[in-house]
Amino acid sequence: MKVALVGATGMVGEVMLKLLEERNFPVDELLLVASAQSVGKEISFRGTIHTVISMQAAIDAAPQLALFSAGGDTSLQWAPAFAEVGTTVIDNSSAWRMDPSKKLIIPEINAHTLSRKDKIIANPNCSTIQLVMALAPLHRKYKMKRVVVSTYQSVSGTGVKAVQQLENEIRGEKGAMAYPYAIHKNALPHCDVFEENGYTKEEMKLAREPQKILNDRSFAVTATAVRIPTAGGHSEAVNVAFEQDFELAEVRRLLHEAPGIILQDNPETNTYPMPMYAHGKDDVFVGRLRRDESQPNTLNMWIVSDNLRKGAATNAIQIAEYLVENKLV
């Protein structure tokens, strides 16, 4: 199995590399790919030093799999070139997510739709993944009508520059700004760029992607995405209205039994999900389950996940594992 990792020197790329090792993914030959400035850089994997190569060199090697985490423009330019030589691309950018000819995959939910013909597979947005992971088992049982989600997203979702900005501000030092305002001791209702309708791109991803993943447009999602000064882990306050009524005990059972979900829901012991406990883990944590007393058939919940792992790298690796296990590459 020859695997290319495109964007190997970025934050998500580094986590992907770590996960390939942690999960003992069957890599016989690893091609590390990054921008021209990083070509020649040396990176260790499984005790062996690998040298970063160019995009064209990786395409010429025709790997079976290419894991992309290098931004939308890079994916649009280079993913088709890999696909042309027979490589299956799993792309972590937003480039292909809403392309009707490409599948948007969360393995626990819709990996069964994949086939050998799928040469470019899209990884959903980090906030979408944890949201849909928690909603899917409930949607199957009670049928969602409307979801209202407010996110509390860590600076790591923006990238290294944002993490550095937060660290500089904590130390009281000036430096490059990833955001238009300070993030330390602040909250910015501004994730990604604003669109003409007044929503940000991040908010519209949350509105559109769940419908595609669940292959169902009978429900609607509205979102407000907020950046907060945490170093890692995204949190979401979710209000979901169902067509059918529910019992909280049954909701807890469904979530407890869902793969990839850990239920943390005991107010008596102050047990609820928090980013500090999700850090470095691959699960999605759900808690603060309670009935919305303002209207019928409506549930409030709190969802937390490590955005660099299940929200990005882990989900991509899980797709790759599914492809290998089912002989689709």
Domain with CATH 3.40.50.720 in the chain: 2-123+312-325
> What's the Rg (C-alpha) of the chain?
20
- Catalytic residue flag (residue 191): no
Query: Would you say 269 and 114 are in contact if contact means Cβ atoms under 8 Å apart?
Result: no
Residue 241 — φ and ψ, nearest 5°? -95, 130
Domain with CATH 3.30.360.10 in the chain: 127-307
| Residue 207: predicted pLDDT | 98
Q: Where are the beta strands (DSSP E) in 7-97?
A: 29-33, 42-45, 48-51, 65-68, 88-91
- Predicted TM-score (pTM) above 0.85: yes
| Residue 314: predicted pLDDT | 98
Q: How many residues does the chain have?
A: 329
Report domain 2-123+312-325's class.
alpha beta
> How far is residue 200 from each of residues 2, 75, 97, 153, 223, measured CA to CA in Å?
38, 21, 16, 14, 9
Catalytic-labelled residue, pool 126, 184, 190, 279: 126
For the chain, list residues with pLDDT below 70: none
| Residue 116: predicted pLDDT | 97
> Does 127-307 carry CATH code 3.90.550.10?
no
| Residue 203: predicted pLDDT | 98
Catalytic-labelled residue, pool 50, 139, 191, 234: 234
Helix (H, G, I), strand (E, B) or coil at 144: strand
| Residue 275: predicted pLDDT | 97
Neighbours of 226 (CB within 10 A): 16
- For residue 54, which of 42, 38, 77 has the smallest C-alpha distance? 38
